[in-house]
């Protein structure tokens, strides 16, 4: 079976290749696998993906989010420090992708046999280094996938646009600029479409600009509003999670965010969207 897999900073999404259609794989809990790793300090046990999300509020577990973002400055021998433990980053990434493969096989609607070969096209940030590309390919390979193609993320989005909207392309409208503001990176590609040929003319990006940074900017506004209380790392992560959930629920008519401050023994904080935009605007 062939799939396209977007290993994202916050979510990992897979789509099937099915007779010219590309349905997104659905799991028991939704349409993505959270890009999370959790480590239990007591014995070094790991939980990955959706299973890691289930222990995110347990103080006995340390949750590592945005593992993909760690690849930007990583090499083959990079170690991931989690509390007092140090783990090879490549091994952690392989374990996560093995979980993704198992979820596709046993916890999704993909209809894949356990022994069936999974051929995949994989995407990476447009400005990914050679090391990041190697680590991504090697981790997918070790996790049991057969990688057929490696694409820059905005280029992949541009090809999908060309596939769906080819009829809109004219001699005056044959260039498409694609931008991808994801959880951890900002990427863009300029694509020229002529006839049935798609050519990527140029690609650029910022390796550390994404939703994670917006979440932290919003949390900083929240903490400023309550006098910058002294909080531990676990409380900080849980507050950040709530800011993330509130941000992801923003729509065109949203006028305010309501952040739960029960962990601080306080009433919920109401943030006008003007304050949220003011905090995030300098980043973009």
Q: 104, 32 in Cβ contact below 8 A? A: no
pTM: 0.84
What is the pLDDT at residue 272?
93
Strand order, beta sheet including 2-7: 33-34, 11-16, 2-7, 118-124, 145-152
d(CA 6, CA 121): 9
Q: Which residues of the chain have pLDDT under 70?
A: 166-172, 195
Q: 41: closest CA among 60, 67, 63?
A: 60
Cα(14)–Cα(1) distance, rounded to whole angstroms? 12
CB 179 within 8 A of CB 99: no
pLDDT for res 152: 86
pLDDT of residue 168: 67
* 3-class DSSP state of 29: coil
Closest listed residue to residue 33, CA positions, set 46, 51, 55: 51
Q: What is the pLDDT of residues 28-64, one digit of tens each?
A: 999 999 999 999 988 889 999 999 999 988 888 999 9
Q: Give the pLDDT of residue 169.
A: 64
Please calculate the CA angle 209-120-95 and round it to the nearest 5 degrees. 70
Selection from 38, 244, 14, 224 nearest residue 119 by Cα: 14
């Amino acid at each position: 079976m062939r799939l396209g897999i977007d290993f994202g900073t916050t979510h990992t999404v897979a789509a099937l290749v099915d007779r010219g259609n590309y349905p997104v794989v659905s799991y028991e809990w939704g349409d993505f696998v959270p890009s999370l790793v959790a480590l239990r300090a007591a014995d070094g046990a790991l939980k990955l993906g959706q299973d890691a999300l289930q222990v995110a509020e347990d103080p006995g577990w340390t949750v590592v989010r945005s593992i993909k973002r760690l690849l930007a400055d990583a090499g083959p021998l990079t170690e991931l420090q989690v509390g007092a433990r140090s783990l090879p980053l490549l091994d952690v990434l392989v374990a996560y992708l093995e979980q993704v493969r198992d979820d596709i096989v046993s916890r999704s609607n993909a209809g894949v046999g356990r022994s069936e070969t999974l051929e995949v096209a994989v995407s990476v940030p447009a400005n990914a280094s050679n090391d990041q590309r190697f680590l991504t390919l090697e981790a997918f390979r070790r996790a049991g996938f057969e990688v057929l193609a490696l694409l820059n993320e905005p280029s992949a989005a541009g090809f999908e646009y060309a596939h769906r909207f080819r009829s809109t392309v004219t001699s005056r409208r044959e260039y498409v600029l694609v931008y991808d503001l994801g959880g951890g990176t900002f990427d863009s590609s300029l694509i020229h479409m002529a006839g049935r040929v798609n050519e990527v003319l140029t690609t650029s990006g910022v390796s550390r600009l994404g939703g994670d940074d917006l979440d932290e900017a919003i949390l900083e506004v929240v903490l400023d509003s309550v006098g910058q209380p002294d909080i531990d790392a676990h409380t900080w992560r849980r507050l950040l999670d709530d800011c993330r959930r509130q941000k992801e629920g923003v729509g065109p008519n949203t006028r305010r965010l309501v952040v739960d401050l029960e962990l601080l023994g306080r009433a919920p904080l109401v943030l006008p969207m003007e304050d949220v935009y003011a905090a995030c605007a300098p980043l973009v």
